[in-house]
Structure 1
Amino acid sequence: MSDTFKKIDKEFCITDDSVNVYGYRCLTAGFQIDEVKKNPIGFHMHNRDKGVVVRWDDFRIDGDKVFAKPVVNLSHPEGQSIADQIEGGFLNAASVGKIVVLEASDAKNLRLPGQTKPTVTKWFSREISLVDIPGNYNALANLYDKDNNELNLSDLKNFTINNMSNTLEAAVILAALNLKDGDESAVVTAINNLVDKADKADEYKKDLDAKDTELKDLKSETVKKEVQDLIAGGKAGKKLTNELATKLEKDYAENPSGLKDLIDTMPAQVLITEQEKDAEKYEGKTFDDLYASEELETVRKQYPDLYEKLRDAKYPNLKQD
């Protein structure tokens, strides 16, 4: 930092495409930045009488916004105070002043909502001041032609217009709307439809979220029923006890395919109480009776306790290893 100036690493928005307080706007696409860089000076609150207090550096364009960083003139009587106000966050705005209009258009397709005056399509400013409130009335009122003659807002309607640019921009809009040239009412209708759709965007999103929730709930219910059906089938097929069924229903609550694979590999189980009931038909029969009726092997496999009991009665001295 020099003793006579101080560059502050803080970007200010110099201009953008928005409509100003007078109802017109200056397009960033037509901002002659090289012309401004020839002498990028500025004042405080557009007060030229007090001398230059800032010059601008590091110009940058991002979309429709133009940014730059201030270099404060510390030799100015208010220079140090202004630098302190910027760094302290009390002076945060910049405003273009003495705007030189090179071309302007009254084309309707260039107007934004709330815009009542023509659009400045090619321009530059002779100074950019530090201000307390952006869009300062004193700044925006100063419009000049290239010969430094002051312009009134009404003059813009008859000012030099870049017809080729307007034609190209209109063609782009018509192509985007899939319309033919010459049907102004169709253009207005199409734009109004787009605005209507934009206004309903929140409503569409709300409906979409509701449908998404409904779909998730339906999917959850479907999975839940599928799991319950598999559990019921496993119990009916004598593969699951009540205790095991409860555990598997919880463990596989969101994985019916895994549950199906598991149940398919499980053999049917004969409960002890059922075994005892089925074994009653062999009551009173001896080991020899079952051997003679060729049922002994069935008893051995299905009712091992009964088989051992009958075998021990037949061969009391036989010891098993």
Structure 2
Amino acid sequence: MSISHLTRAILTGAAIACAIASASGHAQSAAAIAGVPTITVGFAPGGAADTTARLYAQALQDQGFEKVLVDNKPGASGRIALNAVKTAAPDGLTMYLGGSPLFTLLPLTYQNLNYDADRDLRPVAALVEIPTAVVAAADAPYNNIVEYVEWAKRQPKPTTLGLATLGSSGHLGALSLNKNHGLRIEPVAYRGAAPMLIDVASQEVSIGWDAVASMMPLYQGGKIKFLGISGTKRLSTLPDVPTIAEQGIPDYRTATSWYGIYVPAATPDATVAALEKAFIQASEDPTLRQRLLDNGLVVSPMPAKAVSQRIVQEREAVRPVVEESGIKMD
């Protein structure tokens, strides 16, 4: 056998061995969970959380899980679903896909949360970063956040902001706009992004704030338009949409978040480790990553221990902002 043929054979054998090892690892993760897992989502179908849950459910099935269900329990800014999961059996079969504000921001903005953000659930993994944005109806008389501020100042009545989560960073951004620009924006709560965005498109509410992923279908259908992206940089999928900060209005600079997977606090370490491995491996799939990016979500996996640390760090970072705003939800 020539050296080139020998080298090719070695490389081919190595590739096959890696594939077998990978498949074996996937099978072991699936085998460690006895039963049909369910990913519980706190919002209505069609939004960013639902999209993320369904894409990961399929990815887990592709790894060897026989079936993975998605259960939508909308209401109370995701807290109905969270409370259903915290009291579930700690066997790894009931998981919660939730946004970071439930663990970083809501403990500061709500006076009476019916869960303990540090004790009732434990993280499995962080999955995706959630770029957010402010949008309006396609035919609204303002095309960016600066024009909206000027328009809102001229209105004899308060304007409205649609939100899927009261007490969120988007809500804080509206309060900041009110304070810094003399506006009267009133938040309107919805059971999910999808119904909120329908009201934005019909101008039932003046503007809406949520994950870009939730907005893409109506944006692509010409029903809504972006007034600006939250955070500090533009999105590769929306390169022509400026950030709100770029427009000289810093109030939504920190209005971004991320989705993670959580399980009941008493879930055994071995079960959490198996789920962590499965979700981290799923996150490396290029098809999954592209499909989420097409929906305005950026895959950025993080293991359980790092998630716990991130929650504490982000909560303390936003604490001064919340205290200054004076926001307190019931």
How does the TM-score come out when normalised to structure 2? 0.21
Q: Which has the larger radius of gyration?
A: 1
Q: Which has the higher contact order (CA 8 A, sep 6+)?
A: 2
How does the TM-score come out when normalised to structure 1? 0.21
